[in-house]
């Protein structure tokens, strides 16, 4: 069932059985065409380079022998930026997930995914989505929550927050006064109160705290 306008898929997977099974499933799907199935990232990269081949989608095993899975992503992305990469993995190897994401992978599935899921994932990446296994999504969310910490409240008043913003933007007291049409002394007083509430003694201390704890 080859099709001129089929979605061009590359498969990189060292396990023979899994590779053959999956490429079979792909080729039996309408509009999907698995032109090559490689057993290593190196081989895939070689062919992509030699034939200037830019697959629509690359299904990439993260636990490949030889080249690091993460390194492969970068190489592939530099060789063919438009190709969408969907990672396949057995373990939900925590750390690699995030590095893969930052390297430019568009999707992240576990190998126990059903053929249907994988096919569906391939179609949705092409529509700009990022199919992700729910367990992996959980890890992403957890880290996300940690990064987006609770906007700690130090009892800053509206005016104080306003002035703190200008402080973060590098304004001097004189400039803040001019901007807000206030006396220099008023700004000075507000700064003192901000310092006290934030328990700092310098403007950089206040700026650091404001940025670290997202007080704006």
Partner DNA sequence: TATTAAATAGCGCATTTGCGTGATTGTCAT
Partner DNA sequence: ATGACAATCACGCAAATGCGCTATTTAATA
Choose, by CB under 8 A, the member of 44, 48, 132, 177 that binds a copy of itself. Answer: 132
Q: Which of helix, strand or coil describes residue 80? A: coil
Which of DNA, a copy of itself, none lies near 100, with the C-beta cut-off 5 to 8 A by kind?
none
- Distance in Å, CB of 204 to DNA, minimum: 7
Report the nearest approach of a copy of itself to the CB of residue 167 (Å).
Answer: 7
Contact status, residue 209 vs residue 198, Cβ threshold 8 Å: yes
- Residue 107 contact, options a copy of itself, DNA, none, Cβ 5-8 Å cut-off depending on partner type: a copy of itself
CA dihedral 46, 51, 57, 61 (to 10 degrees): -20
Task: Answer whether 114's CB lies under 8 Å from 86's CB.
Answer: no
Compute φ and ψ for 197, nearest 5 degrees: -65, -35
**Assigned token pair, 157:** 């008043």
How many other CB atoms are there within 10 angstroms of residue 154's CB atom?
16
Least Å from the CB of residue 205 to a copy of itself = 4
Contact residue for DNA among 19, 84, 139, 203 (CB under 7 A): 203
Which residue in 32, 118, 160, 164 binds DNA (CB under 7 A)? 160
Residue 69 contact, options a copy of itself, DNA, none, Cβ 5-8 Å cut-off depending on partner type: none
Using DSSP's 3-state secondary structure scheme, residue 130 falls into: coil
Residues that bind DNA (CB under 7 A): 155, 157-160, 172-174, 180, 182-186, 188-192, 195, 201-204
């Amino acid at each position: 069932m080859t099709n001129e306008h089929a979605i061009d898929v590359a498969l990189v997977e060292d396990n023979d059985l899994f590779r053959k099974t999956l490429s079979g499933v792909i080729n039996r799907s309408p509009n999907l065409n698995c032109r090559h199935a490689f057993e290593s990232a190196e081989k895939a990269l070689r062919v992509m380079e030699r034939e200037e081949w830019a697959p629509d989608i690359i299904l990439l095993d993260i636990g490949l022998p030889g080249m690091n899975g993460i390194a492969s992503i970068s190489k592939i992305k530099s060789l063919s930026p438009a190709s969408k990469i969907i990672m396949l993995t057995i373990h939900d190897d925590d750390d690699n997930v995030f590095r893969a994401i930052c390297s430019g992978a568009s999707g992240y599935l576990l190998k126990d995914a059903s053929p249907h899921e994988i096919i569906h994932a391939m179609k949705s990446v092409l529509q700009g989505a990022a199919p992700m296994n729910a367990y992996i999504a959980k890890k992403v969310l957890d880290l996300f929550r940690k990064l987006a910490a609770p906007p700690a409240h130090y009892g800053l008043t509206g005016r104080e927050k306003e002035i703190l913003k200008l402080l973060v933007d590098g304004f001097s007291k004189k400039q803040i006064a001019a901007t807000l049409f206030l006396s220099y002394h008023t700004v000075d007083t507000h700064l003192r109160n901000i310092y006290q509430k934030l328990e700092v003694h310098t403007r950089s201390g206040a700026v650091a705290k404001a940025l670290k704890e997202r007080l704006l």
